[in-house]
Amino acid sequence: MAEATFHFPKDFLWGTATAAHQVEGNSTNNDWWAWEQADDARPKSGLACDWWNRAEEDIERMAALHTNAHRLSIEWSRIEPSPAIWDYDAIDRYRTILTAMRRAGIQPMVTLHHFSNPMWVAEQGGWLNPDVVEWFKRFVAKTVAELVDLCDTWCTINEPNVYASEGYILAHWPPGHANINESLQVLFHMLQAHAAAYETIHDMQPSAQVGLAIHMALWEPWSASFLNRWAARRLDHAFNGVTLEALKDGRWRPPIGRKIEEPKFKNTLDWIGLNYYQRYEAFFDLRAPTRLFLSYRTRPGHETGPAHWGEIYPEGLFLLLQRLYRQFGLPIYITENGRPDEHDTKRPRFILEHLHQVWRAVSFNWPVRGYYFWSLLDNFEWAEGYDPRFRFGLYAHDRETQSRTLRKSGELYAEIAETGGLSSDMARRYAPEVLETLFPGSVRG
């Protein structure tokens, strides 16, 4: 029978993503490592995926997937273990990794901050200290100077909104604070650091493409009541909108506290990165005065991930791409998208359904330039550690043997990247339960 295909542009980037502390192993000089060691109950990253020694092997696996891009991060504490003291062996190692990627036809996107900080930064207050902006600028200048010939696409900071929330409101991450005012101060300093890094990179590499990756959740009201719609707007503004408005208009409008104009935030994006995973239903909650009466949950009967994970909602990716296109009109990269799935029974369907939403956006000529699946392989998942429920990889990773095994979802993603599209044949073979939804009329009678 005839097969249908959703084609992507020939220059579309098919990528994967990793973060330094999650894969490199033995990052002993950063605040995450110290946080792990401070409590016996906390997961220990340890050797992780031993990427510091094995990255070249995984670059070969990227090539085997037919991908042409990869997003990785640079570990600040390796480059600058003490203030203004540079580790040239670490710099050389990153040069070797990026060179191997280039030779394999993999275009690197380098993230300069992905949640971890050198211990000397943490000991001086971390992102609560306004001096961190200059410290980060110095690190960025050195890193770009050393790697400029190997990278031209830079992501300054990954998910500043998540970093500020997890470490300074929810207390799940270092430094374990629970203070909304501190969270806002951290986010403000991160946006200042992003703006400073943007100018620094362009001064050194005028042709560079510089952006930032924001984690966006889709916040919808639990019901149509006025209070629940108010709660959804407030949560959306606090989690998504504060960062987006600052970068677009140079307006700092936190949910509490003083609102100011900050022109330095404006025009500091050549592209914007979207990390998307889930939808939440928001509602007004009289039992939550300390949370400004705002609560959220997932609707019963809808598919969710493990533990606190929200609803898996593919259409949300399309809606957020639409929002970013309308607000910024800039090139967009989906810098993270994936799902935890220990047994890989749901991930093939996830890939097909979410990439179908990306194809819809591309079909409207929205400037979606690439897709970076999270993640290349199972890794250390921050507060969840190596909990088997939080395995994201296209390759399964065995910590005992350091072996990697390609999953069914990896086989599917390899076919998508190789052909540059989604086909009804792929759906039939990898996730037949979505065949009729994505390709109506394709089911044999």
Count of residues making up the chain: 445
Q: Strands, E, within 9-112: which ranges?
A: 13-17, 69-73, 107-111
pTM summary value: 0.98
Could you tell me the CA-to-CA distances from 212 to 60, 66, 127, 244, 272 in Å, in that order? 27, 26, 17, 11, 6
pLDDT in tens, the chain (445 residues): 568 999 999 999 999 999 999 999 999 999 999 999 999 999 999 999 999 999 999 999 999 999 999 999 999 999 999 999 999 999 999 999 999 999 999 999 999 999 999 999 999 999 999 999 999 999 999 999 999 999 999 999 999 999 999 999 999 999 999 999 999 999 999 999 999 999 999 999 999 999 999 999 999 999 999 999 999 999 999 999 999 999 999 999 999 999 999 999 999 999 999 999 999 999 999 999 878 899 999 989 999 999 889 999 999 999 999 999 999 999 999 999 999 999 999 999 999 999 999 999 999 999 999 999 999 999 999 999 999 999 999 999 999 999 999 999 999 999 999 999 999 999 999 999 999 999 998 766 4
State the pLDDT at residue 445: 46
Domain boundaries, the chain: 13-417
The domain made up of 13-417 is a member of CATH 3.30.365.10: no
- Pure H helices in 296-399: 315-328, 347-363
Task: Return the closest-CA partner of residue 190 out of 217, 219, 218, 166.
Answer: 166
- Cβ neighbour number for residue 64 with a 10 Å cutoff: 13
Contact (CB, 8 A) for 334 and 15: no
